[in-house]
Chains A and B, each alone.
Chain A
Amino acid sequence: MIKLIKFILLILFLILSFQKLLIANNNSLLVDKISKNLRCLICQGQSVYDSQSDFALSIKTLIKNKLQEGKSEKQIYDYLKNQYGEWIVYDPEFDKKNLLLWTFPLILFIFGGLLIYRKVFIN
C-alpha cells in the first residue's frame, strides 16, 4: 500500500514538471472546427480544412463571413447542404436512412453481450 502511494506521488511529480508544455488551447477557431467537418468537393477525400483548392479557400472565407454575421454553426451547415447536398458535411445525419448506420454496431454489441451472458450464466 505504501509502495503504491509512493509510486503515485512520483508520477504526479513527473506530470507537474511537464506543466509548461501543456499550453492552454482555447483559441481553436470555430472556422477551423466547421471546415474540418466539411468535404472539399474538388479534391474528394480531403476536408475543407486540409484542402488548399480555390473552392476550399472560398468556403473558409464564407464561413468566416457568416460567423461574423452572427449565424450559428447549424445555420452554416444547413446553408451549405442546401447549396451542395448533404454530401458536403462529413457527419451523417441521424435520420431514417442512416438509422442502420448508427445503430448496427450497438446492436451487435448488445447481441454479443447476450451471447457471453449465456455462456457464463447459463449452461
Chain B
Amino acid sequence: MKKNIFYLIILLFFTFIFTIFYIGLDKPNFYTPKEIKNKSLEEFTSTELFSNEQFSSNDIIENNKFTLINIWSSWCVPCRLEHAALMDLSEKTDLNIVGLNYKDKKNNAIKFLNELGNPFSKILTDPDGIVSISLGAYGVPETFLLNNKSKIIRKYIGPLTKENILEIIKIIK
C-alpha cells in the first residue's frame, strides 16, 4: 500500500511539472520592463542643443500643465517615421514638446530638423545616454508624457503611432 502511494505521488509530481512547462510555452520569453505607472521623474540637468545653456528639468516641466519628452536621434530610422506625427501634434495643440537628442552630433541633429521640421519648444542633449536612463528608457525612440509635478503619465516605446497621438490629445484636454 505504501508503495502504491509513493508511486502515485511521483506520478502527480511529474504531471504537475509538465503542466507548468505546458503553460510556460505560451509565455513570452523576452523581457520588457514593467510599466511602472505614475512614477515620478527625478530632476536632471542637460545642455540645450542650440544655445549650449544648462537647463534643469524642473524649470521646463513645472511651467507647463503637460510636457511631452521625445527621445530621438538623427541616426535612428524609426524616429524619421514618427517625426511627422510630432509635427502634427505641435501644430494641432499647444502641448509643450521637448526633444531629447540621444547620442548624436550637433550638425546631424540640426540637419535632421531642417529636413523634417522642428516640433520642439526646447531640445536637450543626452550625449552619453544618462538622461535617458533617468527616464527609464533603454532605446530610441521613446516618448514620455509628464504632468507638471514630474509624474510620468504615459510611456511609449518605439515610434509614436496614430493611436498614441490620439491618446495624448485626449489626455491633455
* Partner-B contacts on A (CB < 8 A): 41-42, 44, 54-55, 57-59, 61-62, 65, 83-85, 87-88
Closest B residue to A61 by CB, please name it. Answer: B128
Closest A residue to B130 by CB, please name it. Answer: A62
Q: Considering the chains assembled together, what is the distance between the CA atoms of A3 and B74 in angstroms?
A: 74
Closest A residue to B131 by CB, please name it. Answer: A58
| Residue contact A58 to B33, C-beta cutoff 8 Å | no
The answer to whether the Cβ of B132 comes within 8 Å of any Cβ in the partner chain is: yes
Q: Select A58's contact among B30, B31, B132, B136, beta carbons within 8 Å.
A: B132
Q: Considering the chains assembled together, what is the distance between the CA atoms of A65 and B132 in angstroms?
A: 15
| Residue contact A44 to B130, C-beta cutoff 8 Å | no
The answer to whether the Cβ of B129 comes within 8 Å of any Cβ in the partner chain is: yes
Knowing A41-B31, A41-B33, A44-B31, the reply to whether A83 touches B128 (Cβ < 8 A) is: no
Other A-B contacts than A55-B138, A62-B129, 20 sampled, CB-CB below 8 A, are A42-B138, A44-B30, A54-B102, A54-B103, A54-B139, A54-B140, A55-B129, A55-B139, A57-B129, A58-B128, A58-B130, A59-B133, A61-B128, A62-B130, A83-B33, A83-B133, A83-B134, A87-B31, A87-B33, A88-B33
| Residue contact A65 to B34, C-beta cutoff 8 Å | no
| Residue contact A83 to B136, C-beta cutoff 8 Å | yes
Q: Considering the chains assembled together, what is the distance between the CA atoms of A57 and B134 in angstroms?
A: 15
Across the A-B interface, give the 4 residue pairs with the lowest CB-CB distance, nearest first: A58-B129, A61-B128, A83-B136, A84-B33
| Residue contact A85 to B133, C-beta cutoff 8 Å | no
| Residue contact B139 to A85, C-beta cutoff 8 Å | no
| Nearest-Cβ distance from residue B47 to partner chain A, whole angstroms | 15
Closest A residue to B129 by CB, please name it. Answer: A58
| Residue contact B34 to A85, C-beta cutoff 8 Å | yes
Residues on B with C-beta less than 8 A from A41 are 31, 33, 138
Q: Considering the chains assembled together, what is the distance between the CA atoms of A42 and B132 in angstroms?
A: 14
| Residue contact B130 to A61, C-beta cutoff 8 Å | yes
Knowing A44-B30, A84-B33, A87-B31, the reply to whether A61 touches B129 (Cβ < 8 A) is: yes
Q: Considering the chains assembled together, what is the distance between the CA atoms of A65 and B128 in angstroms?
A: 11
Interface flags for B130-161 (1: CB within 8 Å of A; 0: not) read: 10111010111000000000000000000000
Q: Considering the chains assembled together, what is the distance between the CA atoms of A41 and B142 in angstroms?
A: 15
Q: Considering the chains assembled together, what is the distance between the CA atoms of A51 and B140 in angstroms?
A: 17
| Nearest-Cβ distance from residue B51 to partner chain A, whole angstroms | 24
Interface flags for B1-39 (1: CB within 8 Å of A; 0: not) read: 000000000000000000000000000001101101000
| Residue contact A84 to B136, C-beta cutoff 8 Å | yes
Residues on A with C-beta less than 8 A from B133 are 58-59, 62, 83
Q: Considering the chains assembled together, what is the distance between the CA atoms of A87 and B29 in angstroms?
A: 13
| Nearest-Cβ distance from residue A11 to partner chain B, whole angstroms | 48
